[in-house]
Amino acid sequence: MWMPLAILAMPTTLLAQQDKVVKSITVKGTVQFTDPNQKEHKVWLMKDGLNGKGVAVDSALIGPDNTFSFKLKQDHQGVYTINAMYWDYATFWSDADVKVQMRGYDTARMKIKIPHYNFVEGSYDNGFIQLSKLNSDLNYLRMIDEYNLDYYLKQKNDSNVKAYKNERRIYNPLDEDYQRRNEALIQAYANRPVLIYAIRGMAGTEAGEKYDKAMKLLDQLVAKYPWLTEAKALKENIIYNTNQARKLKTGQPMPSVNYPMPDGKLAGLDQYKGKYLLVDFWASWCGPCRQAIPKVKELYNAYKDRGFDVASISIDTDKKAWQKAMTEENMPWLQLLSDNKDKTMKEFQFSGIPTMYLVDPDGNIMERFTGFTEEAQATVKNILEKGAKAAPKKVMSAPMMGF
């Protein structure tokens, strides 16, 4: 049922007061659970750059009474996140003092970092972030429930549950349910500066109704709130990502790279012209990346003599961890280490790994895979079966790297 948007209204005079630049607020909170294996427990205050990367602006120790506090000084209000011991998070809009009660450390025997919603008391505009965050967290948990049901059906072959799932009427499918709530929030907070929190994920990189709406909203914020420098920066970032995404479409040349190998020498991908190439962006700490490696090895072993090769590009920032993972995984193809993780992720337009690109013998992009499922593996195999032939003897495979 739809909530009447009128109940979210706020007197115009109070809204006008909140449009003023706020340069200092107090942040107070409590943490219910701390790690019993640690002597000190730390909380970080992160400024959200609206680009997927937060910057720590302050830190504090959780006191014996499980409380913490910050005195935040800023040029103007914006989006901030409280990071409690890397286990729990709370996000807010910094135009007034805020308070939060956080759960903190995971007390379950099997520790899994799933979203835990922490409501932050604050201003009217802060309410937009709290409702948006709740909507997002509930959407994620519902998605997990649906995946779990699908997994159960595959494992148990329960005909009654299958019939129920296939025949039940779903009034609001997962994505639609989330979008309808999100649209209502955006409508209720139209022209408020905090709306930038939602715009950052609206546009995507494809021209269309959502893209146009996001850019229009950003233009309105830039005009109404000149102090909100994040709005102009976000618009510039969206335009960059859109232009970059065009360069990564199917049929476009794979961008050139020049990254160090384990021995420190630089290498790129141009050496693979004339071959099919799977470019794998990964990291030592990424579980799904490590799980995908055996699937990639199967392809490599089956087609390496038929004009197919692999190049792995790590976004590790810890070189020793990268080298250790390479030794453990024993990947017999070219290994490169990005010299700037953020720049690489922006250039190749990914926020999660593994991300893989399949490149044809002419050096053009054929497919992009976010994650590497059995379906993705089958897609690559099908392409290679149709196109890959015995490689000429003069074509050299990438050298194996010793560590």
The pLDDT, as a whole number, for residue 146 is: 78
Asked if the domains at 22-125 and 259-387 fall in one CATH topology, the answer is no
Task: Give 225-274 pLDDT, tens digit per residue.
Answer: 999 999 999 999 888 888 888 899 999 999 999 999 999 999 999 999 99
Provide the residue ranges of all domains of the chain, joining segments of one domain with +: 22-125, 133-247, 259-387
Q: Is the peptide bond before 354 cis (omega within 30 degrees of 0)?
A: yes
The answer to whether the beta carbons of residues 27 and 70 sit under 8 Å apart is yes
pLDDT band at 205 (very low <50, low <70, confident <90, very high): low
The pLDDT, as a whole number, for residue 151 is: 74
By three-state DSSP, how is residue 285 classified?
coil
Side by side, the strands of the sheet bearing 276-282 are 334-337, 308-314, 276-282, 355-359, 365-370
pLDDT band at 10 (very low <50, low <70, confident <90, very high): low
Average pLDDT, stretch 188-211? 84
Task: Give 22-54 pLDDT, tens digit per residue.
Answer: 999 999 999 999 999 899 999 999 999 777 678
Q: At what angle do helices 287-303 and 374-387 cross, to 10 degrees?
A: 20
CA distance 331 to 289: 13
Q: Give the number of C-alpha atoms closer than 13 A to the C-alpha of residue 237, restricted to the C-beta side.
A: 21
What whole-number percentage of the chain has pLDDT above 70? 87
Q: Is the pLDDT of residue 204 over 80?
A: no
The answer to whether the beta carbons of residues 237 and 261 sit under 8 Å apart is no
Q: Which of 319, 299, 307 is nearest to 369 (CA)?
A: 299
219 CB neighbour count, 10 Å cutoff: 13
Would you list the DSSP string of 346-377?
HHTT-SSS-EEEEE-TTSBEEEEEES--HHHH
237 CB neighbour count, 10 Å cutoff: 18
The pLDDT, as a whole number, for residue 399 is: 30
Side by side, the strands of the sheet bearing 88-93 are 54-61, 42-48, 79-84, 88-93
DSSP-assigned beta bridge partners for residue 74: none
Pairing of strands 120-121, 98-104: antiparallel
Average pLDDT, stretch 58-83? 96
Average pLDDT, stretch 300-324? 95
CA distance 346 to 342: 6
Average pLDDT, stretch 294-311? 95
The pLDDT, as a whole number, for residue 17 is: 56
The pLDDT, as a whole number, for residue 388 is: 64
Q: Spelled out in words, what is the top-level CATH class assigned to the domain 22-125?
A: mainly beta
The pLDDT, as a whole number, for residue 120 is: 97
The pLDDT, as a whole number, for residue 115 is: 74
Q: Is the pLDDT of residue 3 over 80?
A: no
DSSP-assigned beta bridge partners for residue 276: 308
Task: Give 72-114 pLDDT, tens digit per residue.
Answer: 999 999 999 999 998 999 999 999 999 999 999 988 877 776 7
Q: Residue 217 — left, alpha, or beta (φ > 0 → left; ψ -120 to 50 → alpha)?
A: alpha
CA distance 271 to 294: 24
The pLDDT, as a whole number, for residue 135 is: 92
Task: Give 136-191 pLDDT, tens digit per residue.
Answer: 998 888 888 877 777 777 777 767 776 766 777 666 777 788 888 999 999 999 88
Q: What is the pTM of this model?
A: 0.72
The pLDDT, as a whole number, for residue 13 is: 54
What whole-number percentage of the chain has pLDDT above 90? 62
Reduced DSSP (H G I as helix, E B as strand, rest coil) percent helix, strand, coil of the chain, to 5: 40, 20, 35
For 12, the token pair is 């115009």
CATH code given to domain 259-387: 3.40.30.10
